[in-house]
Amino acid sequence: MSLYDRYVLAPMIDRMCGTREVMDIRREVVPLAEGDVIELGMGSGLNLACYDPDRVRRVTGVDPGENITALARERIAACPFEVELLGLSGESVPAESASFDTAVVTFTFCTIPDVYSAISEVRRLLKPGGKLIFAEHGLAPDDRVARWQRRINPIWKALAGGCHLNRDTKLMLEEGGFRLDDVRAGHAMPGPRIATWVTRGVATTR
């Protein structure tokens, strides 16, 4: 892990992902989680305060990022429910099939290198009828914005820990075998329009 990753990127992601607007987006969806939850890309644990402790039994976080997850320790310790954090990639999770009631993925499908494997892993891990709760920034519908997203993506990706600006969340989930039950999308955060189109909602397996 580089010094940039540890001293610049991890604290910057924690700050940018913890703004009031981003926390408001989390609060739209994360409280819908229930039972045994798998959270891909737990990062610095910003979702933990948004779970409904009366609905959640246990949260298993999966994230290979040592520097960012180091920032989650205090948030995990403050949780009124059980939290386990595994330093692993979301593309392959050593857990039994159909063992989770809910999967939560926020601002992470943008970064996971083999995103279709991760989506398929989420499908495998969810119980029949289980829900995927998600909130992701991604490809904007406006052609001009989308063109800039594609242009800037290589530089952005290099500086932002592998994050893509131009992934189409809705399309990826549908191609990955999910039905989108309840979805909202829009420029939901302050900042340049290439980075603020956020799709969030609930999906179930088809």
As measured in angstroms, the least distance from the Cβ of 47 to ligand SAM is 6
Q: How near is the Cβ of 111 to ligand SAM at its closest, in Å? A: 4
Nearer to ligand SAM, 13 or 145 (CB): 13
Q: Which lies closer to ligand SAM via its Cβ, residue 122 or residue 140? A: 122
- Find the shortest distance in angstroms from Cβ 10 to ligand SAM: 8
Interaction site with ligand SAM (CB under 6 A): 13, 17, 40-41, 43, 46-47, 62-65, 68, 89-91, 106-108, 111-113
Q: Are 85 and 114 in contact (CB under 8 A)?
A: no
**Helices (H), ranges, 54-206:** 66-70, 73-77, 115-125, 143-159, 169-175
The CB density around residue 84, as the number of other CB atoms within 10 Å, is 12
Q: Which residues contact 200 (CB under 8 A, 6 or more apart)?
A: 25, 28, 29, 134, 135, 136, 183, 184, 185, 188
Rounded Cα distance, 110 and 205, in Å: 20
Q: How far is the CB of 101 from ligand SAM (least distance, A)?
A: 19
- Buried b or exposed e, range 150-187, using 16+ CB within 10 angstroms: eeebeebbeebbebbbbbbbbebbeebebebeeeebeb
CB of 162 to ligand SAM, least distance (A): 6
Nearer to ligand SAM, 94 or 128 (CB): 94
**Between 65 and 201, CB nearer to ligand SAM:** 65
In this structure, what DSSP letter does residue 31 have?
A: G
Q: Whose Cβ is closer to ligand SAM: residue 78's or residue 147's?
A: 78
